[in-house]
Amino acid sequence: MEKQKNQKVKKIRKRELSLWKQFKRDGDLLILLLPGLLWYLLFAYRPMAGLRIAFYEYNIFRGIGGSRFVGLANFVQFLSGPDFSRTVVNTLMIALWQLVIVFPLPILLAIAITEMKNKWVSRLTQTATFLPYFISVVVVCGMVINFLSPSTGIINFFIKKLGGEATYFMTKPEYFRPIYTLMTLWQTAGFSSIVYIAAIMGIDPALYEAAKVDGATKLQQIWNVTLPGISPIVLVMLVLNIGKMVKVGFEAIILLYLPSTFSTADVIATYVYRTGLSNRNYGLATAAGLFEAIVALVLVVIANKLSKKVSQTSIW
């Protein structure tokens, strides 16, 4: 027994020594990691304690301790409420538009930029598509509203010149999803393409030389060398984007939507905002937000497992 205890003590000491050696070796990197870790602990993990509000009839003046515990009543109210089906369908539809249109186009943009022979044009294109990402969402939404204005908008100006009638696009439910998708694409395509450009730059040039020797055309090189070379990055980004499917950019939606477009524009995130801040029903709003987070987690897990089975590439 004593020998076994001594062996365990020795193993623990070895582990402590190895951990200390690792800390001495990677101490600088760990210090650099510390601010980001503290940010996550303070602003991402610490607020999770507030999820308890979903199970209370929360009163902002009494706090959780003075609020009445209602169990799953808030979830039942949300799931059986009149807004549930509309917000879920709109969230999934907008997310599907994002996944089908916004996700693949940065890949094509990255391929186009890296394949351009004129480096000046390549850099100009990359800069022009990259800069919109740094424009405030408020400014971008204001630009969209002004461009589509029925009286002063440039879009309706050309429609009138062509003999058509001015249309107030922002009040038409059928136009909201295309407008939101194109706006998001314009703002994020250049920034999203950086990851794929870096992945393409990491492909061994010898593979392209071998393809040229075999007589492959430019399209064949892209299909047989470029796309397989960046496929692991594409799959990882796809999994991450699927996880964000239900987390659509509600800030832009709040700035763009109107009561007349609720039928296609009202999503779970805007419902949470309206219920919590406007109606002050904090318990119901928290329950809806927690439901959204659980759905996102389930989607990430499923997408990750499918990616691992198909290509042996996964996040974890």
**Tokens standing for residue 1:** 């027994």
Domain ranges (residues) in the chain? 2-52, 72-311
Check: CB of residue 210 under 8 Å from CB of residue 55: no
Alpha-carbon distances of 106 from 66, 98, 172, 178, 191, rounded to whole Å = 50, 12, 28, 18, 8
Longest dimension (CA), the chain: 96
Give Cα separations from 308 to 313, 314, 316 (angstroms): 5, 5, 9
Residue type, 233: I
pLDDT tens sequence across 263-272? 999 999 999 9
Cβ atoms of 196 and 232 within 8 Å: the answer is no
Tell me, which fold does domain 72-311 have in CATH? MetI-like fold (1.10.3720)
Report whether 183 contacts 139 (CB < 8 A): no
Contact predicate 181/102, CB 8 Å: yes
Counting Cα atoms < 13 Å in the Cβ hemisphere of 161 gives 6
Average per-residue pLDDT for the chain: 86
Cα 174 from Cα 91, distance rounded (Å): 15
Distances (CA, A) of 256 to 224, 249, 261, 291: 42, 11, 9, 24
pLDDT given at position 19: 65
**In 10 A of CB 94, how many CB atoms?**
23
Ranges of the chain whose pLDDT falls below 50: 9
Distance CA 69, CA 71 (A): 6
Q: What is the β-pairing status of strands 56-57 and 68-69?
A: antiparallel
| Whole-number CA gyration radius for the chain | 26
Q: Which residue matches tokens 């890296």?
A: 114
pLDDT value at position 56? 92
pLDDT in the model for residue 63: 84
Burial class (CB in 10 A: 0-12, 13-18, 19+), 89: middle
With 0-12 / 13-18 / 19 or more C-beta atoms within 10 angstroms meaning exposed / middle / buried, residue 35 is: exposed
3-class DSSP state of 233: helix
